[in-house]
Amino acid sequence: MSGVSLQCGDCGALLKSVEEAQQHAELTSHSNFSESTEPVLNLVCSSCGKPCRSKTESDLHTKRTGHTEFSDKTSESVKPINLESPSSTTPTPMDVDSQEMVVPEVDKALLQELQGMGFSTARATRALHCSGSSSLEGAVNWIVEHENDADIDQMPMVPASSKNDPPKPSLTEEEKKMKLLELRAYVHEAFARLLYLSERIRIGKELLEAKRIEEDNERKRFGFFHLIAFRKAEKEEEKKALEKIRKKLEEDKAERRRKLGLPPEDPAAAKPSEPVVEEKKSILPVKPITKAEQMRECLRSLKKNHKDEDARVKKAFQTLFTYAGNVVKNPDEEKFRKIRLTNQAFQDRVGGLKGGIEFLELCGFEKSEDGEFLFMPREKVDTAVLNSAGKELQSAIENPHFGVL
């Protein structure tokens, strides 16, 4: 049997004529063609008359339109390929069965829109016909999927009988309005869901960041305690090692006395030589606690004693800062060096908190004999101590972690 189609050796496509092979070569630059006895399929849709050249194309047509009935007319249109004198005439609108073939009717408005987008009339007509003339988007998607088809720029032809089929009923104005409202509702719903998801993502990120910060703070806090425990364990190990060395030295000393025939050393007589501790004390003298350290510890204990009253503690710090500042600025003014203990405002801000009066006493204030006033004599005003108190109070006010550890 002579060849009934041409097969591209580069991509395997089957072409039913020399003209199609030439067009395929121009589009793809493929030049390796050979005759094939396998015909190009001619599956005609029974519902709309669309011809399909392969089983894949018919499956795609079924998926898009729902048409499942096809008539196989491959054997009717098969004819040998003539390589010597390829036909240069355009195909007539009559098929092999002398059935009249006409251009299918498509939506003229969609056709004009596709032409305005730069597509040729044949390509636009074929896209609208093959996609069912349902929408502009469907036609464009069909063109994108079939842009490599050899016959995409050929005007589609259908039997004249299918042209007279009743057209699909168009939507009324009321139906169009309903469709538009449905589309808008869908868009609004999708947009609202998108906003909801983005908000959930933002909140989730904030929660993760807050959790990370909390974990870092916990790690730092417990890291400090672990460091203290580690140092303590180190000292214990060092102490055990020194005790082991001491015992070993005593055993060696006892062994030497035994070999020399000397009596064992009296442990009571050998005990009193412990100058090592004295040397350690001299090497590491105990540093006396400064006034500033006493003030810092007083403020720290005040905050710990009232850890659930942050606002009240902060107000107390600010009030103490004001007392110290007034004395520094006006040391000769007695009203700034005298505080009535029974004053309700003083009790609410400082006196009612454990540690508030103690801090004022560290600053130089003294209780009167009747216990009614806190008074700082003029000759006991120490500007350096009051400035130190101001620095400690400012640090306690500005440092959010003051007194935590």
The predicted-structure confidence for 347-399, as pLDDT tens digits, reads as follows 888 888 888 888 888 898 898 888 888 889 888 888 888 888 888 888 888 88
Q: Does 177 or 218 have the greater pLDDT score?
A: 177
pLDDT value at residue 1 = 45
Can you tell me the mean pLDDT for 68-97?
59
**Sheet with strand 373-375: strands edge to edge:** 338-340, 373-375, 366-367
Q: Does 80 or 154 have the greater pLDDT score?
A: 154
Statement: residue 166 has pLDDT above 60? no
**Collapsing DSSP states into helix, strand and coil, what is residue 13?**
coil
pLDDT value at residue 169 = 54
Predicted model pTM: 0.32
Rank 8-12, 20-24, 129-133, 345-349 by mean pLDDT and report only the highest.
Answer: 345-349
Statement: residue 405 has pLDDT above 60? no
The domain limits of the chain are 5-163, 174-283, 291-398
DSSP alpha helix (H) spans, 261-382: 267-270, 275-283, 291-305, 310-329, 344-346, 356-363
Q: Does 354 or 6 have the greater pLDDT score?
A: 354
For 11, 120, 297, 319, the CA distances from 349, given in Å and listed in that order, are 91, 88, 19, 7
pLDDT digits (tens, 9 = 90+) for 220-261: 766 666 667 777 888 888 889 899 998 988 888 888 888 877
User: Residue 323 in contact with residue 292, Cβ under 8 Å?
Assistant: no
User: Residue 3 in contact with residue 80, Cβ under 8 Å?
Assistant: yes
| Other Cβ atoms closer than 10 A to 250 | 13
- For domain 291-398, which architecture applies? Up-down Bundle (1.20)
**Collapsing DSSP states into helix, strand and coil, what is residue 195?**
helix
What is the length of the chain? 405
Statement: residue 326 has pLDDT above 50? yes
pLDDT value at residue 29 = 74
pLDDT band at 84 (very low <50, low <70, confident <90, very high): low
For the CA atoms of 76, 78, 84, 85, the dihedral, rounded to the nearest 10 degrees, stands at: 40
pLDDT value at residue 113 = 84
User: Residue 320 in contact with residue 392, Cβ under 8 Å?
Assistant: no
pLDDT digits (tens, 9 = 90+) for 312-321: 888 888 998 9
